[in-house]
Amino acid sequence: MIAGIGVDIVDLARFERQIERTPRLVPRLFAESERGLSLHSLAARFAAKEALIKALGDSHGAGWHDMEVIGDEHGDPSFRLHGRAAEAAQARGITSLHVTMTHDAGVAIAFVVAERA
């Protein structure tokens, strides 16, 4: 059963300007495993984290590192939740998360579906 959905869009040029202006945003927003990717990929991951917050309905107290976007052996994205984000998902009975991301035409977009059994 679908428990929540979330979508977010990031303007790539604006995201790039923010990162160039404030480079410390990268370690603040992204787990070590997410760093080193292209700015477009980082923007898509940021959109995924924002979409996850919307799909959960609330992630009060969760930090950006609590929502880690990882890829499987095929490159398909998923989440590894830690701390407050994991607690929020568990409290809402979320058993599965689905995420898709893309970046093209000046934007990065992510869509998240949260399911409960």
Q: What is the structure's pLDDT at 82?
A: 94
3-state secondary structure of 23: coil
pLDDT at position 28 is 96
CATH number of the domain residue 20 falls in = 3.90.470.20
107's CB contacts (< 8 A; 6+ apart) are: 9, 10, 11, 12
Q: Average pLDDT of the chain?
A: 95
CA contacts within 13 A on the Cβ side of 41? 13
Number of independent structural domains in the chain: 1
Domain around 52:
2-116
Question: pLDDT tens digits, residue range 37-68?
Answer: 999 999 999 999 999 999 998 777 789 999 99
pLDDT in tens, 93-110: 999 999 999 999 999 999
Q: Once rounded to an integer, what is the mean pLDDT over residues 67-76?
A: 93
Mean pLDDT value of segment 11-26? 96
pTM of the model: 0.94
